[in-house]
Amino acid sequence: MKYIDEFRNAELIGNLVKKLLQVTTQNWKIMEVCGGQTHTILKYNLEELLPKKISLIHGPGCPVCVTPLEFIDKAIALAEQSDIILTSFGDMLRVPGSKSDLLNVKAQGGDVRMIYSTLDAIKIAEENQNKEVVFFGVGFETTAPANAMAVYEAQRRNLKNFSVLCSHVLVPPAIEALLSSSEVSIQGFLAAGHVCTVMGYEQYIPLAEKYKIPIVITGFEPVDILNGVLLSVIQLESGKYEVENQYKRVVTKEGNVQAKKLLDEIFEVTDRKWRGIGTIPNSGYKLRDRYSAFDAELKFNLKNIEVEESKICIAGKVLQGLKKPFECSAFGKECSPEHPLGAPMVSTEGACAAYFHYSKRN
């Protein structure tokens, strides 16, 4: 397929591996932030092609995985109410809450609907004026503009029965939290290309300078990732620490200006709790006060739901790059895609799911 096969070309991959072997003289730990990149690395066995001195660490860039447990329980509490239609994207339906998941609520008669666009939720609200329609919106900056547009449209159409359960998180504060941690040892980052398509990469420049660490904006195909690793290693070996754009075919420095204007209109930055990690300051979005009528947490008084994480699941350590999925005692045993203990085993971007499907398991 044109524009896909080129980035999976064996000759190009071989050339990049040769260059990496030539330039790598020291041990380097590089974190790919995005779960989509993690799946590509495991699917194509890219880590096996790298020089032994290079270690890839999997980061917290799975939006489903970092959604707090209490938000899942809040969504379940809404879905269990007979006058509410709960809408969300498919991979959220199987993410385990403290006692159940949305798919189980649906099986027991709850009106839980999988949608493919936030505007589908708007349409459902228009067609069901006698019910409350809640969209469970999660994700990084990539999905935030579409969810912001849903709120904008709901106001424009004067939909009183529509609201959003919003759990958006932001990448740069998460990177800073990792770099500030005494537990985490990372010397370079592959930043998520789709996030930077929306936001650009200006906000990464102060991070690279402050922590003296290279950050390479990287795509999602094998050639993209190996090229991103190569650019990172070249910087590391030469003592540089800059933001570099490998994903130039999509990403610009300023990003999508119109999308950022919409985000600024609908959302404001807030502290946000990350599942298994804890609260990271200024790492999420919440609806601005002028759009508070569409905030499901306020509308249905859900602020007081708090729960404890599973004591068996080590998702938090996996998301911080402190552990690999196979180091969890429950991996492939008590925890599998059919019976997940944590979100990383459910999501199509989860590191545990990637290892389960693609890596060799004893």
Asked if residue 275 and residue 190 are part of one domain, the reply reads no
> What strands, in cross-sheet order, belong to the sheet with 188-192?
54-61, 28-34, 188-192, 215-218, 243-245
Asked if residue 118 and residue 53 are part of one domain, the reply reads no
**Half-sphere exposure for 22 (CA within 13 Å, toward CB):** 8
The phi-psi region of residue 340 (left if phi > 0; otherwise alpha if psi is between -120 and 50; otherwise beta) is beta
Give the Cα separation of 164 and 248 in Å (integer).
34
Range of the domain at 341: 315-351
Asked if residue 331 and residue 284 are part of one domain, the reply reads no
Asked if residue 277 and residue 152 are part of one domain, the reply reads yes
Asked if residue 135 and residue 90 are part of one domain, the reply reads yes
The pair of structure tokens assigned to 58 is 């999997």
* Mean pLDDT, residues 149-153: 97
Give the Cα separation of 135 and 87 in Å (integer).
5
Q: Is residue 360 part of a domain?
A: no
* Mean pLDDT, residues 168-173: 96
The one-letter code for the residue type at 352 is: C
The runs of H, that is alpha helices, within 243-304 are 257-266, 296-299
Asked if residue 57 and residue 69 are part of one domain, the reply reads no
Q: Which of 162-166, 285-289, 356-360 has the lowest mean pLDDT?
A: 356-360
Asked if residue 101 and residue 232 are part of one domain, the reply reads no
Query: What CATH number is associated with residue 127?
Result: 3.40.50.11740
Q: Is residue 175 part of a domain?
A: no
Give the Cα separation of 86 and 164 in Å (integer).
10
**More confident position, 158 or 97:** 158
Question: What is residue 144's predicted lDDT score, i.e. its pLDDT?
Answer: 96
* Mean pLDDT, residues 127-143: 96
Average pLDDT, whole number, for the chain? 93
Asked if residue 275 and residue 201 are part of one domain, the reply reads no
Q: Which residues does 206 contact at the CB level (< 8 Å), separation at least 6? A: none
Beta bridge partners of 162: 133
Output b/e per residue, 172-198; b: 16+ Cβ within 10 A. bbbbbbbbeeeebebbbbbbbbbbbbb
pLDDT band at 330 (very low <50, low <70, confident <90, very high): very high
User: Can you give the C-alpha Rg of the chain in angstroms?
Assistant: 21
Q: Is residue 306 part of a domain?
A: no
pLDDT tens digit string along 113-126?
A: 999 999 999 999 99
Instruction: Check whether 360 has a pLDDT greater than 60.
Output: no
Give the Cα separation of 80 and 292 in Å (integer).
23
Instruction: Check whether 70 has a pLDDT greater than 60.
Output: yes
Question: What is residue 1's predicted lDDT score, i.e. its pLDDT?
Answer: 59
- Phi and psi at 162, nearest 5°, equal -115, 140
Asked if residue 165 and residue 264 are part of one domain, the reply reads yes
Strand boundaries in 129-169, DSSP class E: 132-139, 162-169
Using alpha carbons, list the distances in angstroms from residue 328 to 26, 57, 63, 267, 310: 29, 16, 21, 37, 13
pLDDT tens digit string along 230-247?
A: 999 999 999 999 999 999
Question: What is residue 218's predicted lDDT score, i.e. its pLDDT?
Answer: 97
pLDDT tens digit string along 274-312?
A: 987 889 999 999 999 999 999 999 999 987 777 777 788
* Mean pLDDT, residues 142-165: 97
Question: What is residue 3's predicted lDDT score, i.e. its pLDDT?
Answer: 75
The one-letter code for the residue type at 246 is: Q
* Mean pLDDT, residues 41-48: 94
Instruction: Check whether 361 has a pLDDT greater than 50.
Output: no
Number of domains within the chain: 3
Query: What CATH number is associated with residue 225?
Result: 3.40.50.11750
Asked if residue 74 and residue 52 are part of one domain, the reply reads no
Contact 78, 165 (CB under 8 A): yes
Q: Is residue 38 part of a domain?
A: yes
Which of 245, 265, 287 corresponds to the end of one domain?
245
Asked if residue 129 and residue 73 are part of one domain, the reply reads yes
The phi-psi region of residue 200 (left if phi > 0; otherwise alpha if psi is between -120 and 50; otherwise beta) is left
* Mean pLDDT, residues 128-156: 96
Q: Is residue 261 part of a domain?
A: yes
